[in-house]
A and B are shown apart, each in its own frame.
Chain A
Amino acid sequence: MMAIQLTSEQKALFADTHTIKVLTTVDGAGKPHGKIDRSIHLADDGTIVYLELLESSKSNHNLVESIWFDRTVSVLVWADGERCIEVTGKPVRVHITGPIFERYYVDVRSRLGDVDLSGVWIIVPEQVTDENFWLKKAREESERPFFRHLDRLAKPDIYSSN
């Protein structure tokens, strides 16, 4: 899967500080782990940046395994029922030292107080899915009509005849 560029609407969703962002990773046994995180944002080049504060966290371990064994992670960005996307991609880099790391280190500590920074993870987006519920509902009912329960299609008078 090749890296993709997000649309301006999708970029705006990432930039909106009121959205909830969830990073989901899996470990070597396939066990998933989700984490709500406010640090997730887009870099100028369109990659996703995630700041990991804890070296020993489940997310960090899973990201290390992902970069080692070429696994995919997902980032869900949720504003409300109508504005929600899921981006899947690959962690391709972690800055644990160097000027980028040090810039984030100082920034994180100025915002959050006495915390540490383990790494600055770079995730390359490979696929974006619109998770707008009403959009997906309309699509499923149009493309997968057999998935509906019959009572939803019944004449209203069936209920009044009880």
Chain B
Amino acid sequence: MSVALKRTFAEELSLNEVVARYPDVPRLVIVKTDVQRRGIHYTERALSIVDPSIHQMRSPYIFGSRDGAIRDLPESLILRDGTTILVDPTPLEQNPYLVDLVDGRLALVDNEEVVEFVELWKRPRYYDLHTSSGIPMSHIASARPQRLNIFQSSYCHFWAQHKECKFCDIVNHTRQQKDELGVPIRLKPQDVYETVREALKEQGRFTGICLTAGSVLKGRELFDHEVDYYIETLQAIGENFATKKFPSELIASAFNERQLRRLYEETGLMGYTSDLEVLGEEKFDWICPGKADSVGYKEWRNRLIRAVDIFGHGNVGTGLVGGVELARPFGFTSEDEALRSTLDEAEHLAENGVTTFFIVWVPRPGSVFRDQQNPSLDYFVRLAKGLHDLRVRYGLRIDYNNYRNCGNHPDGDLSRLL
């Protein structure tokens, strides 16, 4: 697999310079963002205190890491304010932050300076168990500090048409994960039910469940099979709860109103996300050809807006792969222009009750954009601030996908005060 270009960051503002430039943005959130942008490398000293019986090691995930390898390393990090850092092991030649042992504690280190002390995620107890069908429960639900991730199907039909999103490595990673770990490509609802049941026995451990999978185009209407499968899985999960509704998020294709009503009425689902990935029709058509051909940008956006009537204000969102709008060769050539365009589109969505959040784009070896470079830290901070400001302006909360229930969005970290 190809490896991203070596990067020095010398021409960009440093972490401290960006922190000084934005005194109203918490340093800890800026640190998180930069760590996600640059990645991490665990030193041998750091790994010497890792205990797999206590710490959560990397478990199956829907996307791959930027080193393209599946290795037995700690899952990820958490900061002292409760901010989660979801970050990949990264080859040293890409100049990542080091996670090192300093005075007996794990610390993020850059240029031999301690940036911040960190902790590893704790391993949930259900990771030690198997379902009645014999599958390790860690292969059924991946844990974050407070969330259960159910990746019910790791195949995306856009790949079969060679129209996958250009930043995405889902199918390549799925094959690698199946070959190396034996992770099932498609989960059985009974296994999901049993795993969630065990996870709930850990009192105080989880605050939300997130389901996601690749797009499934088949059915009487587009995506009908995908919807049927989600309903079946959500109903199985719901068997564990005394209430009809439970804190949950579905990240899925852009469903029509009938499909959305089924999801809301027939299951305990409370939040719905359908990722546009990049805002603006021209960039969307280029970067997400499968989504563009099957639904189209404007209809995808309209389906999100219609979902607000069903799931409620603040419970519908769209995710962006932040920074991909600057990809070569057809992306914006100016960060200012990219930011203006993205925030204008996000404002249109916010006016209509749809919240927008982003993950930091990491060019992954298994994706079309594997040899590219993500934007500056300054850009990501401005994007986070801009999206958070829109939520403030339009009274949009992000409770269903916040720093606790998700933890993967710098703008969502800022919105924990809403």
B81 touches A67 (CB 8 A): yes
A97 touches B145 (CB 8 A): yes
B26 touches A97 (CB 8 A): no
A65 touches B417 (CB 8 A): yes
A sample of 17 more A-B contacts (CB under 8 A), given A67-B28, A106-B203, A119-B82, is A64-B81, A64-B417, A67-B80, A68-B26, A68-B28, A68-B29, A68-B81, A95-B82, A96-B82, A96-B404, A97-B122, A97-B146, A98-B119, A99-B122, A102-B204, A109-B203, A117-B204
How many of chain A's residues touch chain B, expressed as a range?
A: 20 to 34
The chain A residue with its CB closest to the CB of B204 is: A105
- Complex Cα distance, B203 from A99, in Å, reads 11
Count, chain B residues at interface, CB 8 A:
20
CB neighbors of A among B115-159 (8 A): 119, 121-122, 145-146
- Chain B residues near A92: list those with CB within 8 A: 80
- Complex Cα distance, B116 from A93, in Å, reads 12
B80 touches A93 (CB 8 A): yes
B146 touches A96 (CB 8 A): yes
Task: Kindly state whether residue B27 has any CB partner on chain A within 8 Å.
Answer: yes
A96 touches B145 (CB 8 A): yes
- Chain A residues near B82: list those with CB within 8 A: 94-97, 119
B396 to chain A, nearest CB (A): 15
B205 touches A97 (CB 8 A): yes
Task: Kindly state whether residue B416 has any CB partner on chain A within 8 Å.
Answer: yes
Majority SS at the chain B contact face: loop
A98 to chain B, nearest CB (A): 5
Listed residue (A64, A68, A117) with the most chain B CB atoms within 10 angstroms of its CB: A68
CB neighbors of A among B1-47 (8 A): 26-29
The chain B residue with its CB closest to the CB of A62 is: B417
A-B contact count (CB 8 A): 49
22 A-B pairs, CB-CB below 8 angstroms?
A55-B404, A64-B81, A64-B416, A67-B28, A67-B81, A68-B29, A68-B81, A92-B80, A93-B81, A94-B81, A96-B82, A96-B145, A97-B145, A97-B146, A98-B119, A98-B122, A99-B122, A101-B204, A102-B203, A102-B204, A105-B203, A109-B203
B residues contacting A by CB (< 8 A) are: 26-29, 78, 80-82, 119, 121-122, 145-146, 202-205, 404, 416-417
A residues contacting B by CB (< 8 A) are: 55, 61, 64-65, 67-69, 92-99, 101-102, 105-106, 109, 117, 119
- Chain B residues near A69: list those with CB within 8 A: 26
- Chain B residues near A61: list those with CB within 8 A: 417
B158 to chain A, nearest CB (A): 35
- Complex Cα distance, B145 from A67, in Å, reads 20
The chain B residue with its CB closest to the CB of A95 is: B82
B298 to chain A, nearest CB (A): 36
- Complex Cα distance, B203 from A119, in Å, reads 14
A47 to chain B, nearest CB (A): 13
B209 to chain A, nearest CB (A): 16
